[in-house]
Structure 1
């Protein structure tokens, strides 16, 4: 993988863009006096056939159609010698055109350029297009064309540039025999099948660009035999080609770009590679190539980029690579290369990215690398390198990223002294080196730009060095699995950007500094994390907390906000102020000597997913308010001195007994009832419970009976004393003990009910009473910026009340956004907003109540196999949710980007119709705006990769998240569930890997897999994969997704890549 590159734009694409620019310039200078009647009629019929697009209204009835946007006319001499103004170019890219392409365009018999790219056109190309004998340039890329197009292309004998990429075309590739003038052909990102046809190249001797990438072609590449020396760009990546590279490939002396990545190609690279002297880009990654790299690169003097990662190349680095003076990127990671890195880098002054990680290199770091003054990325991790970091590496002032982890580098003091002079360095990964050395205090200048520092698993001795306090931009700090002693310094709390701190598995002593509770980077979600976006695709090797083995975070931004201090000798109490760290996801203080009680303020850390306080000396109770930690998935307080009842609601019902064992005073009502008088019933693990005798069982039974009777009496007594007529204005007195009570001073109240509400007489008092004063028992979910409560309204109906939380400024903004958007957004596949209430400083939204809860529940939590969703129900849910999202994107005004599409935000009514919910993260767009800049938002597993780079939420970002939902429907797996297993990845990566291995059937949930459903399942999988394209520009619009899903039952499937 290229570490430096964000986007790859082929020269063909640039040619298209340049052509469009020239055409658009021509539009402003060409003022034709008239318009041919036949051309006028053809254009009007074309526009009338469209279902969307601005030209429908922009193209007026003016007879001078040559002045219309996208239309270019030229004076053409007719057969009779007269001159007439005729349409020669129709250029309408990115116009939002929907519908089908009208056959009337075939009447434009002087047309030589037709560009309809980046629209929403479906169907196919009319067969009448074969009459366009003058057509030279045809671009219909990035649409939804799915029908066979061979008939339309059969007569285009003048065609020179043909681009049909990024559609839904399938089947065997059309014949090319008539395209004798073809210069450029792009059919990428479709679902074509079959073998590489020799006819492709033999038809035209002038073909210079051929792109067949991202399809389903199979077999060998023998068809290249007929390709001539004129070919300059050949892209065959992401198919299923097999066998070796044919010798004929090396005869293409004009070749500049060769990409065959992500296939099943094998064999060795031939020495004939030296014949490709004009080669600039060579992409061989993710194949099965073996043997040594040929030492012939001296002839490739134009080479700028060489990618060959994830193969089985062996042997030493070819010395002739040193002669490629224009080389910018060299990526040979994940192979079996060996020997010393003896490449002479002195002549590679343009090198910007060097990745030789995960090989078998030995020996010292190459000193000549210091001549690569433009080097930004250096990754030599997971090799057998030894020695020091050369002092002349201080000359690499452009360095941004350095990873030397998992080697045997020595002398940490020298390494830090040298690398601190790289002023722009932001990421430094040195884990698993410097074994047993003393951590250096000699850093004098400091790493002013450093954001990520990993020195884990080095066995380092000494104290946490004070020079780290000068690293003001540090966001990720890993010093785990060392032998560090002394205390945790208080200045750590002053590192404003820090959100990932790992000091686990050391010998640290003393109290946890109170300053640690003031980490600004953990006080709000995504605070100070935007700068990590520049390294979103750089793999980072950081050790796993639970063992000394390695763990790779694929993206810098994927580090979970964490404080990891386990396996030390820390003492003292847990500060109650720790609740301020509301963005924290993981808190691990296990295996220390921490005393005191567990602060209830931890329950204010609403995003907490993992809490481990086991193996300490904590006493007191587990705070009941921990039930508010609705995202908590891992919890342990085992082996402390805790007592009292274990919370029984929320997530605590799912935690195993091992999470509580070793606390003699703990009890849990479900298994081992507590003594109601003093709560001293001991918590007994399942293993010891088997030893209970008959007398014990009898005693427990009697205790249960007495306890239940007493509890029932208390409940009845309280009920008898309750004054049902008590004014609702005093509800605050009832909620004073709650951590999240409504505003203390009841000031102005306002209740607004929309016309679609079926409870017109609702009052503020009714609203509060209907939720039992927002009792925990009424909580049914957690939406954007707040909890959702079930309300029983006075008229007998039910509603869902979302109570917004957060600081007042942000809360008010979110409240206004939801009210304004949802009051206009009314659709049968959206959760209906019935009204809203402002009560003091609190904001309440009143929604329809949907009986069947969320899709997330039915896919991931419902344990009754008989109640599992059948395939027909899942398909209907996908179709409904897509229609709801399409309405938000294009149906309502202003347009809305949802920004948090996920299965828990798809609610189901009593007929299992899907309703898209939770616009708490929405931002409103004016018509024709396509994005909104904001903080990085969303839910882990659903966030599009580009969000971490641009912090820009877009319609295509929503489409990516919806693609993840489609995978959930197909697999019944959570988006990040599979990473729990060893060597597993997230759901999206896993699905694509299974497809790469031709194991599609294993993707699907066995509960829905039937031979009768195979065609439909594959169709939906194809649609999901297109939604999940890494390049947002390649993703379909949600309107296209709706169309495809609605036609799943009838059309043939288009397999994705």
Structure 2
């Protein structure tokens, strides 16, 4: 009996241990939860969950673990859609990440597993460039982004990727010269660059230990390095002039034209004439001159005749439409098919733009060397203009409400339920019949021209899914009323916390300020670098940053940029210099506005305050010169903090601000770098 009890106890103990070992690291599980949600919660990913769960213990499809850590993710070819989320960088033990051959036609996220060895993103329809974070994957051995639609030059650096042995960029639309950092790939064996639009030479590849190189169907030129001629090399469809001979040294005269048959026999045109004279005596000389004159006359007549014929054909090709109609109405006209066949040798009916190019005679000229092509050739050729692509609007992932429903929920939009008034309209508190409390934004009529535009906007907003972006719950478009229904965060906006609360006990702590800044940065990073095409906010300000009870930031008014007029809030203090001058908003102008919000968090001041001295009215102009002066910075800090902040954390916070509010937009960092800087700030300050 005692032995049986002991066996049972041991079995239970082993079961407990196995269940403990099966528990997945919380950071890994959370990252996979977000990945699952970002992929639109597909049924193909069996056992996956949107929250919680145990990927290692519950055998989530495509997940391999070692202990409590996820080490491999292979979900290739499952027909997945959506995007890859924003927390893959938390998967620090993942060595294989394969999400190839799905339908993720947006931008590759900046956040990828940092220690991955095999990264396969092929066949997903990605269009934007490669994220710079790939440059930091020092363990990477295999990188495949082939069969996408990636455009532009290669913007990553290969200096730290010495372990990379296989690189596949094939079948994209990459442009520009090969980056010089490719020469750092000392472990490279297989490189596939075919079917892109690369230009320049391939000298940078000359000293790599390559075994297979495919560069077909690009625009490479120059010569082939000798070292590459002994490997398996595929290079057709490029502009290489000579794959064997090195270029001549500088100053070498151009090669002479090879002699024709007459020159090979030692006879020039003049010696031919003189030879004829010698063979026929004096009379022969006379007849030779006469023959040459006759030949010249014949050639001249032919040339003049050809010019006249060309002129006549051009005249006919420019006949007025009335004459063409008369010709078409002639009796016994041949069928259209015969007409087109007969006209092929006289006139081309192909149209480029609105101009028809007549072809006088159906003879193909010999190929022309691109280097010898005249400027006139470039002037004559007009490339065809492709038809504009129709943008397909996706389904609306939001509930349709009636005006009656929302009137009842807001007590006919009474003042008592008014939460606030923004640039685009008023926001009301709404309590539905099921007890749910939401926020209803009533768009001002001048911002919308018709209901179709509104539905298009709703379609785009409803696709936005991020913890730091205010979620659209529903919408209403009736009787010329346009309303958006959002989740409600009853703790108020950042603007209210910083500028409207009189109760000192409710002042934001330094940790909460940093937390709000990081959340807002993640929201902009999602809009700019995860959404495809990128979403410009245009109206980023503290009033549009809502705060929940845990002081998490939720960015509102996302996707409403098309309603923001160029003249909107020009004196608000949030606009970047280029916006104030030209009215043009970009991703970089959002970054500037984010920097201004960080200045609000640091100083407690509003972006523009006309009650202050003139030199201090604009917060950005006043504060920017002082951000690197530790003494001035200390005086700038919000008095509501009462000195309770880490000095080093404050200094690093100011460094991020200085980068964001630079006058030149090209020098402002992408939001992914801002997020990374704020994350480091949190970690170094041991904040939660």
Q: TM-score range by the shorter chain?
A: 0.3 to 0.5
Task: Report the TM-score, using the length of structure 1 for normalisation.
Answer: 0.29
- Greater percentage in strand: 1
- Greater percentage in helix: 2
Larger Rg: 2
Task: Report the TM-score, using the length of structure 2 for normalisation.
Answer: 0.43
Higher relative contact order (CA 8 A, sep 6+): 2
